[in-house]
C-alpha cells in the first residue's frame, strides 16, 4: 500500500492524536468528583472485570511524558477532554485544583508546540447530576452551560478549538436505549429525552461561549455506515431507520433545525414537551464539525421486535479486536456526504479514527503492522475525500495511549503507544513510529 505523508495533504492540515479524561487521567488523583461511569462500572455485569477509571494511565501525573511523546512524533495538535467532575466535583461548584490541572496541561501543550483541541464533555457526568436524572433531565443542559463557561473563562484564551459534546449518539442512544454505557438504561423515553437534551446542552454551551473565547467552536459527532444486510426492501428500510437514528438525527438538528421523519416515527411520542422551541438554539452556526469514524454495521429488519425493528447481522470484512469491520470507504463516504448534504464549506476534522488490537511488548518494542495498514488506509480515504471536494482540515488518531475502553475495560488496546497497566510504562508501537515518519517535516528529524 502507498503510504501517504504530510505533503500529500493541503498546507496547514493538522495531524494529531486524541484521548479523553476519564479514559486516561485516573479519577483517584487530585480532587475529582464521582461520575456515573464510576457507579456504572461498580455494578456487576456492565464492564469487563468491573474495571473503572480510578487509575487509568495516571496521565494526571504523567502528562509531561505523554505530551513529550506527542511532540517527539511531530504532532501538530492534541485532542483532549476536560473532566466536568474534576472541574466541578458536585457538578456545580468550581474546584480550583481541577482548574489548575488543566491550566498546567494546556500550557504544557503550548510549550511543546501542540495546539490544544479541547472537548468539554466526553461522557463523565458528575454523579450529583446523574442523581437528578442526568441527560433525561432538562436542567442538566443548563448545568453543562455553566460548566462550559467556567472552564472556558480559565482556558479559553489559550485553547485552539473547543468541542461541546463528544458523540451524542453514544451519550443518548448507546447509554439510554441500548444500555451499553453509563447510565445503562434501556428505556425509549429516557433515550428520546437524552437525544434532545444532549443537543440542547450543545446549543446552550455555544451560546454561552460566544463572546468569551476566540477559539473556534464545534461539536464531535460519530458516524457508522448503515449497510443493508440484503437487497430486500425490508432490509433497506431497516438500514435507513438506523441511518436516521445514528447518522442523521444530530447533524440534521444542527444544520436544518429538524429531526428526520424515520426516527421521529419512534421517538416523537417521547420527546419533552415544547422541544420545537429549542431547535433554533440547537441549530446555531458552528465554526467546524468533528467526525469520528470507526466502522460500518449491517442491519436487517426484525419485524417481531418493537420499533426500530432492526437487528445487526455480522459482516464479512476483516475485523479489529473490537469485532468491528475494517471499512475505510465509509470514512470517505461520510466526509463527502456531510459536505454535500449538510456542511458545505464548513471545516471538517476527523476527530477520531483508530482500531483496537491485542498488542504485546517484545524486547521493549511493539509491532502493530495491522494498525499501520489501518491508519494509512484511513488517511488515504481522507485524502480522497479532500480531492473530491471535502473541506477536511485535520486528522486525529484514536488514541495516543492504550486506555480505559469504557465497557470493555482495559482489554482493548487502541493506542499508538502501549501502556502496561501494572507498571504504567509507555512503549511507542511501530504505528507511532510510522506515523511520525509520515508527518515529519523536511526541517526536522522524526523519532525513528
Ligand atoms: C469512541 C469514543 C472514544 C473511544 C473510541 C474507541 O466512540 O469517543 O472514547 O472509546 O470510541
Determine the atom of ligand 1 nearest the C-alpha atom of 414: 6
Catalytic residue among 25, 51, 325, 352: 352
Distance (angstroms) between ligand 1 centre and the Cα of 15 equals 18
Tell me how far apart the alpha carbons of residues 194 and 182 are, in angstroms, rounded to a whole number. 12
Q: 254-274 burial, b if ≥16 CB within 10 A, otherwise e?
A: bbeeebbebbeebbeeebeee
| pLDDT tens profile 249-306 | 999 999 999 999 999 999 999 999 999 999 999 999 999 999 999 999 999 999 999 9
Long-range interactions of 5-12: CB distance < 8 A, separation 24+: 5/437, 5/438, 5/439, 5/440, 6/438, 6/439, 6/440, 6/441, 8/383, 9/383, 9/386, 10/386, 12/393
Residue from 391, 228, 208 nearest 298 by CA = 228
Residue 26 near residue 58, CB atoms below 8 Å: yes
Residue from 261, 260, 259, 256 nearest 283 by CA = 256
Distance (angstroms) between ligand 1 centre and the Cα of 397 equals 11
Sign of the torsion formed by the C-alpha atoms of 35, 37, 41 and 45: positive
Determine the atom of ligand 1 nearest the C-alpha atom of 123: 9
Distance (angstroms) between ligand 1 centre and the Cα of 119 equals 13
Q: What is the pLDDT along the chain (448 residues), one digit of tens a residue?
A: 679 999 999 999 999 999 999 999 999 999 999 999 999 999 999 999 999 999 999 999 999 999 999 999 999 999 999 999 999 999 999 999 999 999 999 999 999 999 999 999 999 999 999 999 999 999 999 999 999 999 999 999 999 999 999 999 999 999 999 999 999 999 999 999 999 999 999 999 999 999 999 999 999 999 999 999 999 999 999 999 999 999 999 999 999 999 999 999 999 999 999 999 999 999 999 999 999 999 999 999 999 999 999 999 999 999 999 999 999 999 999 999 999 999 999 999 999 999 999 999 999 999 999 999 999 999 999 999 999 999 999 999 999 999 999 999 999 999 999 999 999 999 999 999 999 999 999 654 444 4
Long-range interactions of 131-139: CB distance < 8 A, separation 24+: 134/36, 134/183, 134/194, 135/171, 135/172, 135/175, 135/176, 135/193, 135/194, 135/197, 135/198, 135/201, 136/176, 136/189, 136/190, 136/193, 136/194, 136/197, 137/193, 137/197, 138/193, 138/197, 138/200, 138/272
Catalytic residue among 167, 325, 372, 405: 167
Question: Dmax of the chain from CA atoms?
Answer: 62
Q: What is the CA radius of gyration of the chain?
A: 21
Domains parsed from the chain with CATH numbers:
6-447 (3.20.20.80)
pLDDT reported for residue 1? 64
Tell me how far apart the alpha carbons of residues 423 and 328 are, in angstroms, rounded to a whole number. 35
Residue 402 near ligand 1, beta carbon < 6 Å:
no
pLDDT reported for residue 33? 98
Q: What residue owns the CA closest to ligand 1's atom 9?
A: 20
Does 167 participate in catalysis according to the annotation? yes
From 56, 168, 352, 411, give the residue whose CB has the most ligand 1 atoms within 8 Å, as the site to mutate.
352
Residue 263 near ligand 1, beta carbon < 6 Å:
no
Tell me how far apart the alpha carbons of residues 378 and 327 are, in angstroms, rounded to a whole number. 9
Amino acid at each position: 500500500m502507498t503510504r501517504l505523508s504530510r505533503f500529500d495533504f493541503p498546507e496547514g492540515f493538522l495531524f494529531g492524536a486524541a484521548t479523553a479524561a476519564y479514559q486516561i487521567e485516573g479519577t483517584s488523583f487530585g480532587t475529582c468528583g464521582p461520575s456515573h461511569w464510576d457507579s456504572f462500572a461498580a455494578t456487576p455485569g456492565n464492564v469487563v472485570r468491573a474495571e473503572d477509571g480510578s487509575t487509568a494511565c495516571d496521565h494526571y501525573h504523567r502528562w509531561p511524558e505523554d505530551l513529550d511523546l506527542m511532540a517527539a512524533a511531530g504532532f501538530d495538535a492534541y485532542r483532549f477532554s476536560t473532566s466536568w467532575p474534576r472541574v466541578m466535583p458536585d457538578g456545580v461548584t468550581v474546584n480550583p485544583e481541577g482548574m489548575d490541572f488543566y491550566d498546567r496541561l494546556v500550557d504544557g501543550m503550548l510549550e511543546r508546540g501542540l495546539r490544544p483541541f479541547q472537548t468539554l464533555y466526553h461522557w463523565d457526568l458528575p454523579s450529583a447530576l446523574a442523581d437528578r436524572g442526568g441527560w433525561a433531565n432538562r436542567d442538566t443542559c443548563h448545568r453543562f452551560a455553566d460548566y462550559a463557561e467556567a472552564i472556558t473563562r480559565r482556558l479559553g484564551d489559550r485553547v485552539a478549538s473547543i468541542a461541546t459534546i463528544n458523540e451524542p449518539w453514544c451519550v443518548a442512544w448507546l447509554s439510554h436505549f441500548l444500555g451499553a454505557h453509563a447510565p445503562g438504561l434501556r428505556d425509549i423515553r429516557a433515550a428520546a429525552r437524552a437525544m434532545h437534551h444532549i443537543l440542547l446542552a450543545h446549543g446552550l454551551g455555544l451560546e454561552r461561549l460566544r463572546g468569551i473565547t476566540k477559539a473556534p467552536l464545534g461539536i464531535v459527532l460519530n458516524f457508522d455506515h448503515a449497510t443493508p444486510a440484503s437487497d430486500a426492501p425490508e432490509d433497506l428500510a431497516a438500514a435507513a431507520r438506523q441511518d436516521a437514528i445514528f447518522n442523521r438525527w444530530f447533524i440534521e438538528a444542527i444544520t436544518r433545525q429538524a429531526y428526520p421523519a424515520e426516527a421521529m416515527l419512534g421517538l416523537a411520542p417521547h420527546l419533552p414537551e415544547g422541544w420545537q422551541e429549542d431547535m433554533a438554539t440547537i441549530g446555531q452556526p458552528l465554526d467546524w464539525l468533528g467526525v469520528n469514524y470507526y466502522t460500518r454495521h449491517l442491519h436487517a429488519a426484525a419485524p417481531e421486535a418493537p420499533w426500530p425493528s432492526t437487528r445487526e447481522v455480522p459482516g464479512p470484512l476483516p475485523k479489529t479486536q473490537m469485532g468491528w469491520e475494517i471499512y475505510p470507504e465509509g470514512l470517505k463516504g461520510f466526509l463527502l456526504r456531510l459536505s454535500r448534504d449538510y456542511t458545505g464549506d464548513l471545516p471538517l476534522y476527523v476527530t477520531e479514527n483508530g482500531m483496537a488490537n491485542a498488542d504485546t511488548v517484545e524486547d521493549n518494542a511493539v509491532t502493530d503492522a495491522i494498525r499501520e495498514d489501518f491508519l494509512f488506509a484511513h488517511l488515504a480515504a481522507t485524502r480522497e475525500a479532500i480531492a473530491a471536494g471535502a473541506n477536511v482540515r485535520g486528522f486525529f488518531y484514536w488514541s495516543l495511549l492504550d486506555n480505559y475502553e469504557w465497557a470493555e475495560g482495559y482489554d482493548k488496546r487502541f493506542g499508538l503507544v502501549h501502556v502496561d497497566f501494572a507498571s504504567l510504562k509507555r512503549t511507542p508501537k511501530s504505528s507511532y513510529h510510522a506515523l511520525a515518519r509520515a508527518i515529519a517535516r523536511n526541517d526536522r528529524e522524526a523519532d525513528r
